[in-house]
Amino acid sequence: MIKSRLAHLGLALAAIGFTAAVPVVGLAPAYAAETVRPEIGKPLQEAQQLMKSGKNKEALAKLRQLDSVGGKSANENYLIDMTRLGASVQAGDYDTAAKTSEALLASGKLTATQRSQISDGLIGIYMRAGDLGKANAAIEKQLKEHDDPKLRAYLMQNYYKQGNVAALENELRNQEKRGALTEDQLGMLANIQLKKNDKAGYVNTIEKLAANYPKAQYWGDLLNRVQGKPNFSSRLMVDVWRLRLANNLMKKPSEYMEMAQLVLQAKAPAEAIKVIDKGYKAGALGTGPDAARHQRLKDLAEKNLAEQNKTFATDEAELTKANDQDGLAALGYSLVQSGQTDKGLKMMEAAIKAGGLKYPEDAKLHLGEAYAVAGKKQQAISTLKGVGGKDGTADLARYYIMAINKPAA
């Protein structure tokens, strides 16, 4: 990005007719009528020839010979500085380039376009030279004249490098009011919040990263953090695992095993089989010293599913008679996972409508998940938006919406 700023200097030089190949009288057509003394013109031409050959440091040495020449006119100083600017940028002598740019901007010889281009390029020069204080001052000056998102990005990068936390955070907050932050900007904000031990702010920022730039690292951090919240309920761990699976975060055999066991405890054997099958397909299960254990868990899940299918009618009748809406909601979810989506969804909806649930927000969360499993995206999102609770249910519902809209790649 800094190169693009330095490129503006090339435009400025071209705008006044400067190339290393043309004679001095061609440097500035607007001032061609003004006399250039031989003691100035000859070294300038020699410097140009050196630049043409790629000998920019030698060209700068040649130009330094002119510093001792007295009585130079404004036009002669202008031509010398324009040549010096081109040579110093190409030589990577950014200290000289900065001083020369400043002299040109103060010369009164530049057109409005040249002034803008050199001012723009000067920011890149300051940044290349590591003079971030001057770069920031130049950026802030330009921003007062017109807003430029790229310049604001430079400003934030510089604040970050300087460790100027207060200025960076202020700029990030202002940028967020103007529009969404980029991934890099959100990353900078997250780092600030970590250093300040702002746990709530950090989680909020990571949530934005996961929502807008869904990557495994953001999702993994987000799900780890939500479990660490003071009021988070352990009964929701099965839902955390579902989000891990949806975002392709599960890699270890122990992860597939733990999730499958939790799902079995939630009386959803069909879902457990899906988890185990994914573990086998990924090569995490069915190999190594625990391969027999993996098979036993799979056998257990299949046995539980067969038993559930066999006793379904009886189970439903008993739960209905006992007015056990929690049990009916769980049974409905299991049916959705086993492919009986319409019947399962109706059972869950009826249980929620009947009321009397021990954890009504959990039930709505699971209904949203079930809609997603059934491929009913809009109904899933609508249901999840209505989930409340301060024990993690509302957080997980938001995360499910994020995963439905943009799962991690």
- Per residue in 89-138, pLDDT tens? 899 898 899 999 989 989 888 888 888 888 888 888 888 888 999 999 98
* pLDDT at position 147 over 70: yes
Q: What is the DSSP secondary structure assignment for residue 283, as one 8-state letter?
A: T
Encoded amino acid at 398, one letter: R
Helices (H), 146-198: 149-162, 165-178, 183-195
Task: Identify which has the larger pLDDT, 401 or 154.
Answer: 401
Percent of the chain with pLDDT over 90: 64
Q: What's the average model confidence in pLDDT over 277-304? A: 96
Distance CA 202, CA 200 (A): 5
Is 345 within 8 Å of 366 (Cβ atoms)?
A: no
Distance CA 312, CA 268 (A): 13
Distance CA 297, CA 292 (A): 9
**Which residues contact residue 71 at a Cβ distance below 8 angstroms, ignoring those fewer than 6 apart?**
none
* pLDDT at position 7 over 60: no
| pLDDT computed for residue 177 by the predictor | 87
Distance CA 123, CA 4 (A): 11
| pLDDT computed for residue 4 by the predictor | 53
Percent of the chain with pLDDT over 70: 92
Distance CA 315, CA 340 (A): 16
Q: What's the average model confidence in pLDDT over 204-231? A: 94
Enter the tokens of residue 183.
């991934």
* pLDDT at position 389 over 50: yes
As a residue count, the chain comes to 409
Q: What's the average model confidence in pLDDT over 208-223? A: 95
Distance (Å) of CA 282 to CA 268, 278, 372: 22, 6, 23
**Distant-in-sequence contacts of 398-405, Cβ < 8 A, 24+ apart:** 398/207, 399/207, 399/210, 399/222, 399/223, 399/226, 399/243, 400/243, 400/365, 400/368, 400/369, 400/372, 402/207, 402/210, 402/211, 402/214, 403/243, 403/246, 403/247, 404/372, 404/377, 404/380, 405/211, 405/381
Q: What's the average model confidence in pLDDT over 284-299? A: 96
Provide the pLDDT confidence category of residue 29 given band limits of 50, 70 and 90.
very low
Distance (Å) of CA 122 to CA 9, 119, 187, 278, 308: 8, 5, 27, 56, 73
- Per residue in 325-340, pLDDT tens? 999 999 999 999 999 9
